[in-house]
Amino acid sequence: MSSIQEQLPSPETVNDDEPSPDDDLKTRLHAMEARLRRMRDQRTSHNEDARRAADSRNSVQEQSKEIRASIEEKLNEQKEVRARAKSHQTQRDAIQSRIREIINSKKGRRSEAGKAKSDVIELSEVMAEISNIENRLMTDGTLTLKAENRLLRKLKILASKRDVLLPKATEFEAINIDLGDLESTIQTLKAEADLQHQEMIRAHEEADIIWEEVKPMLEERDFLRSEGDRLHTIFVESKELANSVHAEIEVLLKEVNEARDEMKARREERARVIREHNESVRNALKTPDKDEVLAESLTDKLLSEGTLTLGGSMSGDPQASPNAISSSVGKRRKSRKVGSFRKPRK
């Protein structure tokens, strides 16, 4: 029994110097796992570079957003100043146009372009004519009834015309044109035109100052935009490198899993062979009293036949008969009676 047990393979009896059949597979698996760790470190490094670039890009974009808001605010302010300058310019041009009309009216001709008189000039003429008619009706006692009625109809027409022109001339109602003193009126209009011109110049200067403040902000905006584009390019490149390494990791990981599955299958196969060998050895070392199969078969036979024979001999053996057994017992008894007493030696 001890000689058979010595044949059982066990980890204690395996020689460490003998090469294992899985050494090549283990070496290849360890190499792939080391490469897999390096590739994962590379992917992590690329992802970290992409994250830092994205954070920097987002910070730059926030700064660019703030500078763009400041630029927009300054440009809106400049636009308002330019609009004010444009308004002063329009008023100046309108006043200069009236001056030309007054001069042409003084000379008895229309303006160079042949256009109608301006609303203010026309309103001034209407107001002067109304004033003259009213004074004549109040002071002239030689007027006949027919002439007075004619003047009243004309006065009514001029009043209607005045009511139409008044809303159009409200913007320049502060400028009074005295047709009786055109020289003074022209000088007043020139002074007003010069004032509007100066206001226009001041507004343009204010707008130019605002533009000088905007120019460095525009340069900073352009720099932040280019910096954001550069950081975004770094982010995209880092993500592409990380994705490329990740694709290689997936391929290598598939190979590693295949190698691990193969190694596991080999271990399970060796364990199965050892288990079956040990089972066969244990079956060979079993005695009849420990054989469960034999015990069960004898039990079934006893239950079915009612008799059970253990051991026994061949049917022709005379020693197995009852007579042979009884005769042998009688011989042993007779031999004990004969010579049962011995004389002691002297």
Q: Where do the domains of the chain lie?
A: 42-243
Separation of alpha carbons 243 and 246, rounded Å: 5
Closest by CA position to 200, among listed 48, 344, 94? 94
At 28-40, the pLDDT tens digits run 888 888 888 998 9
Interval 122-147 mean pLDDT? 78
At 334-346, the pLDDT tens digits run 444 444 445 445 4
Separation of alpha carbons 238 and 260, rounded Å: 32
Distance in Å from the first CA to the final CA of the chain: 55
DSSP state of 289: G
What is the pLDDT of the chain when averaged over all its residues? 76
- The one-letter code for the residue type at 138 is M
Interval 112-131 mean pLDDT? 64
Q: Tokens representing 281?
A: 């050895």
Interval 101-108 mean pLDDT? 69
> Is residue 290 very low, low, confident or very high in pLDDT (cuts 50, 70, 90)?
low
3-state helix, strand, coil in the chain (%, to 5): 80, 0, 20
Q: How open is the CA angle 332-333-336, to the nearest 5 degrees?
A: 90
Report pLDDT for 188: 84
Whole-model pTM: value is 0.48
Q: What is the CATH number of domain 42-243?
A: 1.10.287
pLDDT at 43 over 50: yes
Which stretch of 72-86, 150-164, 205-219, 243-257 has the lowest confidence by average pLDDT? 150-164
